[in-house]
Amino acid sequence: MAIETKRIREDFPILKREVHGKPLVYLDNAATTQKPQVLIDALVEYYSSYNANIHRGIHALAEEATGKYEATRQTVADFIGAPDASNIVFTRNTTESINLVAHAWGRKFLTAGDEIVLSTMEHHSNLVPWQTLAKEKGVVLRFIDIDDDGQFVQDDIERHIGPKTKLVAVTHMSNVLGTINPVREIAERAHQHGALVLLDGAQSVPHLPVNVQELDCDFLAFSAHKMLGPTGVGVLYAKRELFEEMDPFLGGGEMIRRVQLEESTWNDVPWKFEAGTPNIGDVCAFSAAIDYLSGLGMENVRAHEIEMVQEGVRRLANVPGITIYGPESAERRGGVISFNLDNVHPHDLGTVLDHHGVAIRAGHHCAQPLMGRLDVVATARASFYVYNEKEEFDALIEGIEAAARLFRAPVHTGA
């Protein structure tokens, strides 16, 4: 079933607005996605109808809010193929989910000389926590490099994942290159050596069918706001036995079973990791976003993005002076195209595009080591989602042409 973008676009109020007198062309979905009316309505419903704290009150509103909150946990578990709702912990974002693992698992189980395997394409969220831990505990960091096509160097996977490896933490899909990494293969190798696997799923879960049991990952982190959901909601999936072994990340209300003046005992998983009043309204509303994506079918979401990338690469490749980064094949990348235009800084290009109504991302995309590996200071990035249409590339190319003229970079484009 093909994605009917014209029908879908009617569900997103913001797509009706203009920017600088031009129709909005929103191509910054890797940063955050826009929200369908059903998500907005679900959030309004919470604050209008059953706003209350959860897990504590016995009155009707509290019980209803608790029920909705926990129902979302089950919805998330079903969406990623987790065996049980207790495998799901709610956080603020992918960054907090990864930090939770670094603090609650890494600090408890890693010792000096243990190795963590990362890659040169990681987002800062999957670098900085491990750098901090390495300095504190004497852990050694190893890095899988990328080849000229923006994919993992196979020899590095085999060379770096070995007997000393305790954790492999890599992105499932690059937020810059769009590269979809062979994470099942990586998990198999890691587990052969007794290592755990953490996947940064911030880009993959919104765009691909993801089943944690098929991937056999030990941890998976992702964010609601990149998949039509609200900001301020993150997810950490872990195998139940890992959650049981880990210590709490934060201490306070709700994460406890019994508190005495000198000591405390902890609540059951997953509530052991959800201290204090959570982001109740946004978690409850998140289920509406997941239901929307499930209604479209993630296989169809993926197929639509392959078509968008194929068309985008084709159109951009006709622009002289354009360099496109990442895998050549659309089947091997997600809905992201990072590129540069000769003689035009990405920030300048982004500004010109903005005045044509086109929203892209320009900068290092929280992946400065990758920028160094590509030998650039920044890139422009166009990223797509279920409501984007091929016709929107006309505005993108028009804006690039305008930037080229403005900065005297000759350009001639083909259809």
Q: What is the pLDDT of residues 297-311, one digit of tens each?
A: 999 999 999 999 999
Q: Which two tokens stand for residue 96?
A: 């907090």
* Confidence label for 411 from pLDDT (cuts 50, 70 and 90): low
Tell me the pLDDT tens digit for each residue of 359-368.
999 999 999 9
| Cα separation, 137 vs 258, whole angstroms | 31
- How far is residue 45 from each of residues 38, 41, 56, 376, 387, measured CA to CA in Å? 10, 6, 21, 46, 24
Query: Quick check: 266 pLDDT over 80?
Result: no
Q: Average pLDDT, stretch 93-116?
A: 98
Q: Average pLDDT, stretch 283-288?
A: 98
pLDDT score for 308? 97
pLDDT score for 161? 98
What sign for the dihedral angle of Cα 221, 192, 106, 136? Answer: negative
Please give the mean pLDDT across all residues of the chain. 95
Q: Which two tokens stand for residue 328?
A: 């050549």
**366 catalytically annotated:** yes
Fold of 39-294: Aspartate Aminotransferase; domain 2 (3.40.640)
Please provide the DSSP assignment of 245-264 as one string: HSPPSS-SSSSEEEE-SS-E
| DSSP symbol at 150 | S
pLDDT score for 86? 97
| DSSP symbol at 268 | P
Tell me the pLDDT tens digit for each residue of 197-234.
999 999 999 999 999 999 999 999 999 999 999 999 99
Q: Does domain 5-30+298-406 fall into CATH 3.40.50.12780?
A: no
Query: Quick check: 415 pLDDT over 80?
Result: no
Domain coordinates of the chain in residue numbers?
5-30+298-406, 39-294
What sign for the dihedral angle of Cα 81, 86, 89, 90? Answer: positive
Pairing of strands 219-223, 234-238: antiparallel
pLDDT score for 66? 96
Instruction: Determine whether 79 is exposed, middle or buried from the number of CB atoms within 10 Å of its CB (0-12, 13-18, 19+).
Output: buried
Tell me the pLDDT tens digit for each residue of 33-75.
999 999 999 999 999 999 999 998 899 999 999 999 999 999 9
* Confidence label for 260 from pLDDT (cuts 50, 70 and 90): confident
Residues comprising the chain, all counted: 415
Query: Quick check: 269 pLDDT over 90?
Result: no
| Cα separation, 259 vs 399, whole angstroms | 61
Omega into 270 within 30° of 0, i.e. cis? yes
Residue 373: closest CA among 107, 133, 177, 162: 177
pLDDT score for 56? 84
Percentage of residues in the chain with pLDDT exceeding 90?
90
| DSSP symbol at 344 | B
pLDDT score for 408? 66
Q: Average pLDDT, stretch 354-377?
A: 97
Neighbours of 415 (CB within 10 A): 7
Question: Which of the following is catalytic: 61, 303, 366, 371?
Answer: 366
pLDDT score for 146? 97
Beta-bridged to residue 196, according to DSSP, are 167
pLDDT score for 250? 86
pLDDT score for 364? 97
Spatial CB neighbours of 4, under 8 Å, sequence gap ≥ 6? none
Query: Quick check: 413 pLDDT over 80?
Result: no
Q: Average pLDDT, stretch 330-354?
A: 96
pLDDT score for 1? 67
Spatial CB neighbours of 48, under 8 Å, sequence gap ≥ 6? none
Tell me the pLDDT tens digit for each residue of 162-179.
999 999 999 999 999 999
Q: Are 212 and 80 in contact (CB under 8 A)?
A: yes
Query: Quick check: 412 pLDDT over 60?
Result: no
